[in-house]
C-alpha cells in the first residue's frame, strides 16, 4: 500500500511538473518582455495559493505586466509533509519558471513558505532568483505552539521535543524546523532539515552558502506583534539561547561564521532587515500596506 501511495505521489508530481512547463512555454510564446521581473510566491502552512492572492493581485496592479506565479503545491494538510520533499518539488517549479525568464526572477515566501523558499535557493544554487523576500518566516526555527494547537491540541513547548525529535516527528514540516533551545543535542541528532540548511549539521557545504550569496537582495521582514513566529526575531535569524534570551542575528554563529552567507550579504549591502509593528501573523499577507511599503520596493 505504501509503495502504491508513493508511486501515485511521484506520478502526480511528474504530471504537475509537465503541466507547469507547458503553461510556462505557452505564456512565453504570447507575452512580450515585461518591465518587471516575474515573481514566484510561496504560501504558508495549512493554507494554499488562494491565501496569497492579495499579494499577487496587488503586484500585478501596481507593476502592470508582471508575471506572478502563485505556487499551488502542498496546500492545506499536505503543507505538513516533510520540508525536503516540498523543497525538491517546489524547487523544480522555481527552476522551471526561472528558465523561462533568463533575466532573472523574484521570490517571495510567507511563513513556512519563506523558509521553504530560502532552502530552495540553497538546494538549487543554479537558480536565477535576484531578490528574495522572507515575510514573517521561522528562519532560525520555531519554539512556540500557538498555531500547532490546530492539529496538536495538547502540545506544549516543554514537551514538543518528545514528538518532533523522533523519526515520526521528523515526518512533519514543523518538526523539521522545531528548534528547542533546551534540547539542542536532540535537535542536532534528530532534525533532518534546519541544522542542515543552516550549515550546522554533521557536514557543511559551500553550495548552501553559494545559493544565497549570489542574490542581488535578501529582505527579511518580521515584527514583535506577530504572535505565532516564536521568537519573532527568528524572522531575522535571531533566536533563543538556553535561557530563552533572544540573541540577535549579528551575535549568532550563523552570522559571525558566515555559515550561509548572511555576513557576506550584509557587508555588501544586500541584506535588509525590516521590523513592522502591530501586524499579527495572519495579516502579513493580507495587508495592502505591507505589499506597497515593504514588498513592491524590492521587486525590480
Active-site positions read 111, 226, 281
The widest CA-to-CA distance across the chain, in whole angstroms, is 58
Enter the C-alpha cell of residue 24.
510556462
Determine the Cα–Cα distance for residues 170 and 161; give it in Å rounded to an integer.
11
Length of the chain: 300
Task: Give CA separation, 276 vs 41, 135, 139, 280, 283, in Å.
Answer: 20, 11, 17, 10, 12
Determine the Cα–Cα distance for residues 164 and 187; give it in Å rounded to an integer.
9
Determine the Cα–Cα distance for residues 291 and 54; give it in Å rounded to an integer.
9
Determine the Cα–Cα distance for residues 221 and 294; give it in Å rounded to an integer.
8
CA neighbours closer than 13 Å in the CB half-sphere of residue 185: 0
Determine the Cα–Cα distance for residues 199 and 96; give it in Å rounded to an integer.
26
Amino acid at each position: 500500500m505504501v509503495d502504491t501511495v508513493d508511486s501515485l505521489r511521484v506520478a502526480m508530481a511528474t504530471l504537475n511538473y509537465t503541466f507547469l512547463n507547458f503553461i510556462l512555454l505557452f505564456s512565453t510564446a504570447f507575452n512580450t518582455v515585461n518591465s518587471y521581473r516575474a515573481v514566484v510566491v510561496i504560501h504558508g502552512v495549512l493554507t494554499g495559493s488562494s491565501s496569497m492572492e492579495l499579494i499577487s493581485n496587488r503586484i500585478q496592479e501596481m507593476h502592470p505586466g508582471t508575471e506572478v506565479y502563485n505556487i499551488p503545491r502542498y496546500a492545506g494538510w499536505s503543507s505538513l509533509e516533510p520540508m525536503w520533499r516540498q523543497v525538491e518539488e517546489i524547487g523544480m517549479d522555481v527552476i522551471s519558471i526561472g528558465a523561462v525568464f533568463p533575466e532573472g526572477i523574484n521570490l517571495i515566501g510567507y511563513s513556512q513558505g519563506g523558509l521553504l523558499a530560502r532552502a530552495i535557493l540553497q538546494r538549487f544554487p543554479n537558480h536565477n532568483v535576484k531578490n528574495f523576500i522572507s515575510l514573517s518566516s521561522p528562519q532560525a526555527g520555531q519554539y512556540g505552539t500557538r498555531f500547532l494547537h490546530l492539529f496538536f491540541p495538547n502540545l506544549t513547548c516543554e514537551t514538543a521535543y518528545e514528538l518532533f525529535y523522533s523519526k515520526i516527528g521528523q515526518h512533519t514540516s514543523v518538526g523539521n524546523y522545531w528548534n528547542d533551545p533546551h534540547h539542542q543535542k536532540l535537535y542536532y541528532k534528530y532534525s533532518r532539515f534546519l541544522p542542515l540548511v543552516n550549515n550546522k549539521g554533521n557536514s557543511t557545504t559551500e553550495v548552501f552558502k553559494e545559493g544565497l550569496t549570489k542574490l542581488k537582495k535578501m529582505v527579511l521582514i518580521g515584527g514583535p506583534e506577530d504572535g505565532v513566529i516564536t521568537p519573532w526575531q527568528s524572522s531575522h535569524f535571531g533566536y533563543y539561547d538556553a535561557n530563552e534570551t533572544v540573541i540577535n542575528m549579528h551575535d549568532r554563529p550563523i552570522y559571525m561564521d558566515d555559515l550561509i552567507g548572511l555576513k557576506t550579504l550584509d557587508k555588501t549591502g544586500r541584506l535588509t532587515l525590516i521590523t513592522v509593528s502591530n501586524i499579527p501573523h495572519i495579516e502579513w499577507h493580507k495587508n495592502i500596506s505591507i505589499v506597497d511599503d515593504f514588498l513592491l520596493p524590492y521587486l525590480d
